[in-house]
Amino acid sequence: VLSVAQDFDFFYFVVQWPGAYCDSRHSCCYPKTGKPAADFGIHGLWPNYKTGGWPQNCNPDSTFDELRVSDLMSNLQREWPTLSCPSNDGVHFWTHEWEKHGTCAESELDQHDYFEAGLKLKQKANLLHALTNAGIKPDDKFYEIKDIERAIKEAIGFAPGIECNKDSSHNSQLYQIYLCVDTSASNFINCPVMPHGRCDSRVQFPKF
């Protein structure tokens, strides 16, 4: 019997800094529920292979169903807010993340547990706290990438991947943080492979 479930080796848990999403070329729109908190927001939980590639869009028959996450809705709005335009309620973003990435982890997590796992990882990582504790704040100042990496490694126990983008003045800035997670989506692990970072050695941490 063939299984539709595809195997994968680990997850990237990816969070985005809203200040860096919003002041880049594409700009942003606040969700219908209002301006998100000045905190990292969840981007996604992405199945990956340890060789560097990843599966995507694994099951066209598995569509996002709001009713399955109704108990998580207010947490999703707060912790997994969309910043894309036009302003919307987030269902587009969650649909995209489920269909592209979540469907490739269906052997491990159903739809409810996939989104709940993302929310739990966000809480467990507490990344803004890890950074501010080390004096790294979203104050438009520049910080050494090495210091950002060290602060997170000291707080969580595992080195993160850092992705940067550019603001309208072409400054390299902190955009996304990647943490590696085991296939049960509950424990941070050492990354088998790091994502492409595109960061200068010093990067801006923009206000939001």
Verify whether residue 43 is a known catalytic residue: yes
Contact 69, 112 (CB under 8 A): yes
Q: Give dist(CA 52, CA 34) in Å, integer.
A: 37
The pattern of x and - marking residues 51 through 80 that bind ligand 5GP according to CB under 6 A reads ---x--------------------------
Residue 195 lies near ligand 5GP (rule: CB under 6 A): yes
16 is an interface residue for ligand 5GP by CB under 6 A: yes
Residues 56 and 161: their CA atoms lie apart, in Å, by 20
Token output for 109:
């997590």
Q: Are 183 and 8 in contact (CB under 8 A)?
A: yes
- Nearer to ligand 5GP by Cβ, of 134 and 183: the residue is 183
- State the nearest-atom distance from the C-beta of 96 to ligand 5GP, in Å: 5
Write each residue from 35 to 54 as x if it is in contact with ligand 5GP (CB under 6 A), else as -, in one continuous string.
--------xx-x-x-----x
Selected from 69, 83, 105, 164, the binder of ligand 5GP by CB under 6 A is 83
Of the residues 79, 101, 116, 163, only one is catalytic, namely 101
Q: Note if 106 is an active site residue.
A: no
Residue 75 Ramachandran class (φ > 0 left, ψ -120 to 50 alpha, else beta): alpha
Stretches 95-103, 134-142, 143-151, 200-208: which one binds ligand 5GP (CB under 6 A)?
Answer: 95-103
In DSSP terms, which residues pair with 164 in a beta bridge?
174
Tell me whether residue 101 is one of the annotated catalytic residues: yes
Catalytically annotated residue among 26, 92, 96, 97? 97
Alpha carbon 188 to its chain centroid, in Å, reads: 14
What is the Cα–Cα distance from 6 to 186, expressed in whole angstroms?
19
**Hey, which residues are catalytic here?**
43, 97, 101
